[in-house]
Amino acid sequence: MNNIKIYKMTKDDIQDVLNLEKSHNIKILSKNLLENEIESKNAYYIVAKVNDNIVGYAGISYVLDNADLISIVVDKDKTNMSIATHMLNNIISFCKNNNIIEIMLEVRCSNIPAQKLYKKFGFKQISIRKKYYDNLEDAYIMKLNIKRA
């Protein structure tokens, strides 16, 4: 898909973003958290739009040269169309332009699509956090080293 456009997330996007999570039966972010993150000087949240409709979002928080990928979600009906790839490219460019040299993330051991996405970008699995999700499922901790622009 080549009509994907990336924008910084605004307050007007929050409800659509929460609906995207609902479509996957996941809840990572809350309205309050998103409102704070959008205002924060230590966070960068984006939405992907196709024909003016929000089809994905992603966000990092960062301190100095280290960032955490908080979430990346694509509309359930629009996966496998490179939308997440566009968003991660945008986030990595942001990191390069802001002297961020490392992105860390956690991902469910069962979440193969997400792990494939991250590996495609060069994220490496560096450890496992046992029973990280609801005290049931393990998380892989993955890290990407970013070369300066």
Ligand X SMILES: CC(C)(COP(=O)(O)OP(=O)(O)OC[C@H]1O[C@@H](n2cnc3c(N)ncnc32)[C@H](O)[C@@H]1OP(=O)(O)O)[C@@H](O)C(=O)NCCC(=O)NCCS
Q: Respond yes or no: is residue 118 known to be catalytic.
A: yes
Residue of 89, 41, 45, 46 lying closest to 63 (CA atoms): 41
| Shortest Cβ 103–ligand X spacing (Å) | 13
Q: Respond yes or no: is residue 133 known to be catalytic.
A: no
Angle at 104 between CA 99 and CA 106, to 5 degrees: 160
Q: Which parts of 11-50 interact with ligand X (CB under 6 A)?
A: 24
Candidates 116, 130, 135, 149; binder of ligand X (CB under 6 A) is: 116
111 contributes a contact to ligand X by CB under 6 A: yes
Long-range contacts of 61-65 (CB under 8 A, 24+ apart): 61/37, 62/95, 62/98, 62/100, 65/99, 65/100, 65/101, 65/102
Q: Which parts of 74-93 interact with ligand X (CB under 6 A)?
A: 74, 79-85
Catalytic residue among 106, 132, 133, 137: 106
**Known catalytic residues?**
106, 118
Instruction: Give the interface with ligand X as residue ranges (CB under 6 A).
Output: 24, 71-74, 79-85, 107, 111-114, 116-117, 120
